Amino acid sequence: MSHPTTMTRVAAVAASAITALAVAMPAAQAAPPEPTLRSEAPRDVKIGSAVWGQRDLLDYDPKNPTEFQRILAEEFNSLTPENDMKWAEIHPEEGVYDFSGADAVVAFAEANGQEVRGHTLLWHSQNPQWVIDASATWTCEEARDVLEEHIRTVVGRYAGQIYEWDVANEIFQDTWDAGGVRLRTEANPFLKACADDPVALIGDAFRWAHEADPEAVLFLNDYNAEGINTKTDAYYALVQELLADGVPIHGFGAQGHLSLQYGFDESIQANFERFADLGLKVSVTEADVRMPLGEDGEPTAEQIALQAERFDKMLEACLNVPACTSYTVWGFDDARSWVPGVFPEGYATIMTEDFEKKPSYYALLESLTEATPGKSPRTPPGLNK
């Protein structure tokens, strides 16, 4: 029978040997993180999503994010306030501003190494009631004063925190409206008040924004503006006129709200290239691809494949034009998509209501992975850039 001290000594030696062996053996390699849209993006192209700060980010806790917030941080390095910077939300009453939703977006972006696109400063829609009422009797000078004060206040508040601004949004009518493509001097209260020279007001909107934040890249933005058509021809002529007048306009944004009920305009890259040749940056600013659904509310396999193709074609056009600075989806999950509330269509985003990644997501991921130059640095959620 062994002496107790001998047993103790043997156990100690065995324990030391196990410890030494563990130290000598290489530690098990941690599995590499799953690739994300932001991690695979080229360094010079931001991959973004729209988000409604007032709805989804006011409760943000970096130590305990919701699943939506976690995905938003992991997948995207650019955010666009979907509604929080529109007039009705940020300037609800004359002389009264509500920055809570916009502040929530900017704070979330700062916490997660993301940048922010500002949206939007001059638009015919989602204006507060006080603007609608007051504009009925505005002179051009009164309209200019209201617009200038708003732009300087909002852009100035976020100076240095917004890398791109949609200054003028949807300022042209569509070709199917009576009279064809023309400036919205009826629907836009500011352009209506200055209908004698609306281009001068548009130019000054860019000047005021530039003076409030000289570093921000300032955009025109519109839908049905992907390819070369009568609307983008009108924008092309307007840009030349503004540039000739010394207006600090820097970018042209094609929203990318597509529907499978219509064909795809293959001239998007050529359109981007002609604006780039004028010295402008270009971006896909609000991409989604909606579709009519059957009685069961589900898309067909053919629709799913075609949706992925169209999301990817818009991205490829951006990646193929060096002047393209950002590609933004207008929300990433179907639960928050604006589409069903406006159109009899749905399934418009790159993830389902339960955050299941669709083929559209993987099509974008593959194209980003194959793109050059390089990859964007991964910034773990919760860390400042």
Domain ranges of the chain: 34-370
Q: Which of 62-66, 173-177, 214-218 has the lowest average pLDDT?
A: 173-177
CATH fold for domain 34-370: TIM Barrel (3.20.20)
What is the model's pLDDT at position 30?
72
Note the pLDDT tens digit of each residue in 74-124. Answer: 999 999 999 999 999 999 999 999 999 999 999 999 999 999 999 999 999
**pLDDT higher than threshold 60 for residue 376:** no
So which residues are the catalytic ones? Answer: 170, 286
pLDDT, average across residues 210-236: 97
Q: What's the alpha-carbon Rg for the chain, to the nearest Å? A: 25
CA 271 to CA 282: how far, in whole Å?
10
Q: Phi/psi of residue 329, each to 5°?
A: -90, 145
Which residues make beta-bridge pairs with 259?
A: 290
Number of Cα atoms under 13 Å in the Cβ half of residue 139: 3
What is the model's pLDDT at position 31?
73
What is the pLDDT confidence band of residue 5, given thresholds at 50, 70 and 90?
Answer: very low
